[in-house]
Amino acid sequence: MDAKATENVQQHRFELPIADGAFAAAYYRIDNGRVVLIHTEVPSEFSGRGIASQLAHGTFELLRATGRKAIPRCPFIGRFLIKNPQYSDIVAG
């Protein structure tokens, strides 16, 4: 899968297209200008394929490119950041 994550501002989520209209999503809210990542979701039929990690990489790359900081509240995102310290400069708290 060569898809890239995009931001859906109206739905407050980062999205990664998977197949046949399905997508993975990282939901967020804005708190004092920071992006609070609250939940990551991948359709169950696509679990175990690394899709959530690909979405997380894309999400953090988009945040870096736009100069924003993130607050990880989603347990998956927290584990992802432990394994991917290259994104620690984006974490606000």
pTM of structure: 0.93
What's the pLDDT tens digit per position in 14-40? 999 998 899 999 999 999 999 999 999
d(CA 76, CA 68): 20
Domain boundaries, the chain: 6-90
d(CA 30, CA 5): 19
What's the pLDDT tens digit per position in 35-93? 999 999 999 999 999 999 999 999 999 999 999 999 999 999 999 999 999 999 999 96
pLDDT of residue 93: 66
Q: Do 22 and 8 form a contact (C-beta atoms < 8 A)?
A: no
Q: Band of the pLDDT at 2, cuts 50, 70, 90?
A: low
Number of helices and strands in the chain (H, E): 2, 5
The CATH number of 6-90 is: 3.40.630.30
Give 59: exposed, middle or buried? Use CB within 10 Å, 0-12, 13-18, 19+: buried
* Cα radius of gyration (the chain): 12
